[in-house]
Amino acid sequence: MNDCTSWQSMENPVMIMRSLFDSTQGKAAYQILRTLVSAGYDAYLVGGCVRNVLLGLPIVDFDITTSARPEIVARLFPHTVETGIRFGTVTVIHEAVHIEVTTFRSERKYLDTRHPSEVQFETSILADLQRRDFTMNAIACSLLGELVDPYGGVKDINERTIRGVGNPMERMREDLLRCVRAFRFMAQLGFAIDASTFEAIASCSDKLEQIARERVGVEWRKMISAAHSIPLQQLADTGWLRVFDLSYRLEHLPKWQVFVNCYKNMTDEAAQLALLARLLNKTEQEFGEWLRSLRYGRETVATGRQILACSMRLQIECTDHERSGDQTFIFLKDMLFAYGLQIAIQGVHIHNQLHPAHRIDETRVRDVCNAMPIHNSKQLQLDGRDLLPLAGGKGGPWIGQMLQELAMGVLHGHLPNQRQQLMDWAKTQIAERKQNGTIQS
């Protein structure tokens, strides 16, 4: 074991140290560490920030670990939030930067393989590092830039290896989220999982239902942003692909490749997901359920479903059938009316990625949209309240239907969007429908 590796042993320790405290966040972390140390406590940066700085990667968030108890942390700093006081975490706000400060702790008795049933505050950094998931995340860095690295995390980082701290089998079993995190780190860092850790992960895949879905969702979102290196094969081999509700067989691989090539050109998250759903042949309903199971927000689910539906319609209309220019024009208007410009453009992006031979020109779609007399039925010069008296005050589904017909008439130039003419058309229709009994008189 290697208790304390100083940055002196590394290539350019001063530069590494500077870069750690350079940013606004880093400066805030430095001040917080200094306050804790000046008050007589041990305090270190730990976890992802230390790992990433060693790798020369951007730092996502700074985490500080300290021997000071949470109530002391709360007293030492003027602006704090008791984020997870039971687990020893206090968020310190230093000049608008939020940094989590967690008391050294160990965890006991994992009753539900998800939450430690009990945490115990500790006085030594070594006890704290022992509870962490992987050696690369179990490195602490002091204010002076000294590394505390009892599990050989630096070596594993150099060798690009994800290795469980201590006994991998125990560590994975006591918290199954660590297995998902291992795959996420594989994707983000391009590291390999060490053999015994991999074996431990594979051995727990039968219990993956026990992981909180919110946590799976968080890991999935981090992983998908590194889609080019999602370790599909390893996920499939270990039985862990199911945790993301994904089916994958070898023959899916080219489709994933399409996804990887395309998603970078798409900035809209809902559209990226809809593309993946298209490639995996998910129906709109399956897609909605999938996104919900990964705890995407309501808006992403609704937008994603619309983009998927729109892109499927585009395939039917523009790829499966030969269409004349006029027919395409009519279809584009219908589509823009049904989904709106934003969704339609995303649908077109997906369509163009999947069917380059039947490419739809985005400028044409925008031009069609600009030339449309109305974009939704609210823009009609009359509404349901105008129709009601024409049928003797009796409401019903016919009102919505008629508004839709009026809108289609205006959209396709068969009716002008003028109140009187729309009323006249509606009157005639209502009279006819009363006669044939579609509207009750």
Residue 272's binding partner among ligand ATP, Mg ion, none (Cβ under 5 to 8 angstroms by kind) is none
Q: How many other C-beta atoms can be found within 10 angstroms of the C-beta atom of residue 378? A: 9
The whole-angstrom separation of Cα 363 and Cα 345 is 10
Least distance in Å: CB of 349 to Mg ion?
A: 32
The whole-angstrom separation of Cα 42 and Cα 44 is 7
Q: Residue 262 in 3-state DSSP?
A: helix
Q: Which residue is nearest to ligand ATP (CB)?
A: 48
Residue 278's binding partner among Mg ion, ligand ATP, none (Cβ under 5 to 8 angstroms by kind) is none
As to burial, measured by CB atoms within 10 angstroms (0-12 exposed, 13-18 middle, 19+ buried), residue 316 is: exposed
Q: Tell me the backbone φ, ψ of residue 63, rounded to 5 degrees.
A: -115, 135
Specify the DSSP class assigned to residue 316: I
Q: Which residues pair with 91 in a beta bridge?
A: 81, 100
What single string gives the DSSP state of each residue in 163-176? -BSS-HHHHHHH-T
Q: Does 48 bind Mg ion (CB under 5 A)?
A: yes
Q: Is there a contact between 67 and 43 (Cβ–Cβ < 8 Å)?
A: yes
Q: Which is nearer to ligand ATP, 20 or 439 (CB)?
A: 20
- Alpha-carbon torsion, ordered 38, 40, 46, 52, to 10 deg: 20
Residue 128's binding partner among ligand ATP, Mg ion, none (Cβ under 5 to 8 angstroms by kind) is none
Q: Are strands 161-162 and 192-193 parallel, antiparallel or unpaired?
A: parallel
Q: What amino acid is encoded at 428 in this protein?
A: T
The whole-angstrom separation of Cα 329 and Cα 183 is 46
Least distance in Å: CB of 216 to ligand ATP?
A: 12
Q: Which is nearer to ligand ATP, 103 or 137 (CB)?
A: 137
Q: Which of 22, 61, 383, 424 binds Mg ion (CB under 5 A)?
A: 61
Residue 219's binding partner among Mg ion, ligand ATP, none (Cβ under 5 to 8 angstroms by kind) is none
Least distance in Å: CB of 164 to ligand ATP?
A: 10
CA of 12: how far to CAs of 6, 16, 55, 373, 392, in Å?
11, 6, 13, 65, 86
Q: Is there a contact between 121 and 105 (Cβ–Cβ < 8 Å)?
A: yes
Q: Which residue has the tokens 């917080």?
A: 32
Contact region for Mg ion (CB under 5 A) — 44-52, 222-230, 269-277, 370-378? 44-52
Least distance in Å: CB of 18 to ligand ATP?
A: 20
Q: Does 70 bind Mg ion (CB under 5 A)?
A: no
Q: Where are the alpha helices (DSSP H) in 13-107?
A: 13-22, 24-38, 48-55, 70-76
Q: Which is nearer to Mg ion, 85 or 218 (CB)?
A: 218
Q: Is there a contact between 157 and 55 (Cβ–Cβ < 8 Å)?
A: yes
Least distance in Å: CB of 157 to ligand ATP?
A: 12
Q: Which is nearer to ligand ATP, 180 or 307 (CB)?
A: 180
Q: Which is nearer to ligand ATP, 133 or 268 (CB)?
A: 133
Q: Which is nearer to Mg ion, 61 or 362 (CB)?
A: 61
Q: Which is nearer to ligand ATP, 85 or 341 (CB)?
A: 85
Least distance in Å: CB of 61 to ligand ATP?
A: 5
Q: Which is nearer to ligand ATP, 77 or 134 (CB)?
A: 134
Least distance in Å: CB of 337 to ligand ATP?
A: 43
Q: Which residue is nearest to Mg ion (CB)?
A: 48
Q: Residue 196 in 3-state DSSP?
A: helix
Residue 316's binding partner among Mg ion, ligand ATP, none (Cβ under 5 to 8 angstroms by kind) is none
Least distance in Å: CB of 331 to ligand ATP?
A: 44
The whole-angstrom separation of Cα 341 and Cα 344 is 5
Least distance in Å: CB of 153 to ligand ATP?
A: 10
Report the interface residues with ligand ATP, using CB under 6 A.
Answer: 47-48, 60-61, 63, 132-133, 137-138, 175, 177-178, 222
Q: Which is nearer to ligand ATP, 114 or 255 (CB)?
A: 114
Point out which residues bind Mg ion (CB under 5 A). 48, 61
